[in-house]
Chains A and B, each alone.
Chain A
Amino acid sequence: GAVVSQHPSWVICKSGTSVKIECRSLDFQATTMFWYRQFPKQSLMLMATSNEGSKATYEQGVEKDKFLINHASLTLSTLTVTSAHPEDSSFYICSARAQDVLTEAFFGQGTRLTVV
């Protein structure tokens, strides 16, 4: 089946630094990619939707200047957490959807971010 690769799987960074997370669709063209955040024992919270070649659409309450999303190609989207703080520590997950496919079948393996 199709694979979505997310990198890194875990990262520790210092407060105030920026962290970039990559999401790649390995064997299909992802016209739309989604970025989620998940807290322990809680559901996935959609942060933003990105379409290749256009600006991301952010959910209410998500700071677009803090969580920079780039979807420059049909196989790659990146999420950059800028000026990270301990409260940004979380599990970040991407998913990808191909054109004309109704739902997100393919999720990345997630990135555990710890800000110290």
Chain B
Amino acid sequence: QKEVEQDPGPLSVPEGAIVSLNCTYSNSAFQYFMWYRQYSRKGPELLMYTYSSGNKEDGRFTAQVDKSSKYISLFIRDSQPSDSATYLCASTGGGNKLTFGTGTQLKVEL
């Protein structure tokens, strides 16, 4: 079992839709949770970074962590074609190493 599981998609939504991206993790030592956005042939870009259970909002993006069920989510409101990318969740226990999910490919269509 991978430590971080993520549905690879692809996920296709119409412009303006609310997008829900999800990951599960198995390592109880994970305390920090990140979401990265990666455009094709580019390096990942950090979108959101959370520590505790609950919600964290930044503009159209909301990250949600439920440590009791080991479930992390990213919501994108009013999705735009420019949001089309691969979204990677990642977790760490506070040491050096990040563990990434496989990424979910998102396409927002006009």
Contact = CB atoms under 8 A, between A and B. Distances in A.
The answer to whether A and B interact is yes
B97 A43 contact: no
Interface in A57-97: 91, 93-95
B41 A103 contact: no
Interface residues of A, number: 24
Shortest beta-carbon contacts, A-B, top 10: A107-B43, A43-B102, A43-B100, A110-B43, A105-B46, A109-B43, A44-B100, A107-B44, A93-B43, A108-B43
Contacts of B45: 107
A46 interface: yes
Contacts, number: 56
Given A49-B97, A104-B98, A91 B41 contact: yes
A104 B88 CA distance: 13
Interface residues of B, number: 23
Contacts of B94: 102
21 contacts: A34-B98, A41-B102, A41-B105, A42-B103, A43-B100, A43-B103, A46-B97, A93-B43, A102-B32, A102-B92, A102-B94, A103-B32, A103-B34, A103-B46, A103-B92, A103-B98, A104-B46, A107-B44, A107-B45, A110-B41, A110-B43
Most B C-beta atoms less than 10 A away, residue of A44, A106, A112: A44
Contact of A103 (B49, B101, B103): B49
Given A107-B43, A110-B43, A41 B8 contact: yes
B1 interface: no
Interface string A1-39: 000101000000000000000000000000010100000
Contacts of B105: 41
B60 interface: no
B56 to A, nearest CB: 14
B28 interface: no
Most A C-beta atoms less than 10 A away, residue of B34, B45, B98: B98
B96 interface: yes
Nearest to A32: B96
